[in-house]
Structure 1
């Protein structure tokens, strides 16, 4: 997958499928420092990401302080050719960061064994032989 460099940040996209609805989230920052991926609730237009009994509220801490998020099980995510079933993603309102629809974190990057190649501006899976 190609990486887009904008304003010093690395942008990618992620596709979610939940309860039969597909949604591609663009303008996600590739963030190896984020342990958990998070998506702006405002970026998910056609998918119901409201709170349900099985969901949990979590707190994230980072350079910007401490924020709450809703952790939901999503039926399917796809990042480039990598697929994950029953993935847990965090959702919150990221209004303080216009133009950023989320962070693609180490939870997906490590489980998919991704290599970030900044020379070629791409992220790809490393296949073990």
Structure 2
């Protein structure tokens, strides 16, 4: 797997597929201490991912402050030759 180390942190590229559209996100931080996966919502709008009334939302907190996030199941995410469906 192609992992780019920047300032000692691991970064990869991820392709997200949603409703017959896909986008490749570069410089995605692999957060080995996180219990979940978070992508920047502004980037995913390009393939039609928006919060919808039936989506679950919550506030998360981190070292940079707090943020409201929404949960969405995508068709797949792909990291090189690894593909995870209904992620």
TM-score, with normalisation over the residues of structure 2? 0.83
Q: Deviations over 1:2-45 (max 9, x none)?
A: 11112332110111110100111111111101111111123235
Q: CA separation in 2, counterparts of 1:47 and 1:39?
A: 13
Q: Structure 2 regions of 5+ residues with no counterpart?
A: none
Q: CA separation in 2, counterparts of 1:84 and 1:54?
A: 23
Match of 2:5 in 1: 5
Structure 1 stretch displaced more, 26-35 or 43-52: 43-52
Deviating 4+ runs (over 6 angstroms): none
Aligned pairs (5 A) from 1:31-70: 31-44=31-44, 46-70=46-70
Aligned residues: 87
Q: CA separation in 1, counterparts of 2:45 and 2:13?
A: 15
- 2:14 paired with 1:17: no
Match of 1:103 in 2: none
Considering only aligned residues, what root-mean-square deviation do their CA atoms show, in Å? 1.7
> Which protein has the larger Cα radius of gyration, Structure 1 or Structure 2?
1
Contact 2:18 2:49 in 1 (8 A): no
TM-score, with normalisation over the residues of structure 1? 0.59
